[in-house]
Amino acid sequence: MRTGERCSPRTEDAGSSLAEVGSSPTGNAYQPTTAVPEDTHWMQHALVLAERACNEDDEIPVGAVVVDAEGQVIGEGWNRNIAECDPSAHAEIVAMRRAGRAVGNHRLVGCTLYVTLEPCAMCAMAAVHARIARVVFGAFDPKTGAAGSVFDLLADPRHNHRVAVVAGVLADECGQRLRQYFRGKRAGVGTGAAGADGEGPFPTGQTCG
Q: How far apart are CA 97 and CA 34, in angstroms?
A: 27
Q: Is 92 a catalytic residue?
A: yes
Q: How far apart are CA 169 and CA 198, in angstroms?
A: 35
Residues 6+ away with beta carbon under 8 Å from 126 = 92, 93, 96
- Give me the amino acid identity at 86: D
Q: How far apart are CA 101 and CA 186, in angstroms?
A: 38
Q: How far apart are CA 92 and CA 146, in angstroms?
A: 13
Instruction: Look at residue 120 and give its three-state secondary structure.
Output: coil
Residue from 5, 92, 118, 173 carrying the catalytic annotation: 92
Catalytic residues: 92
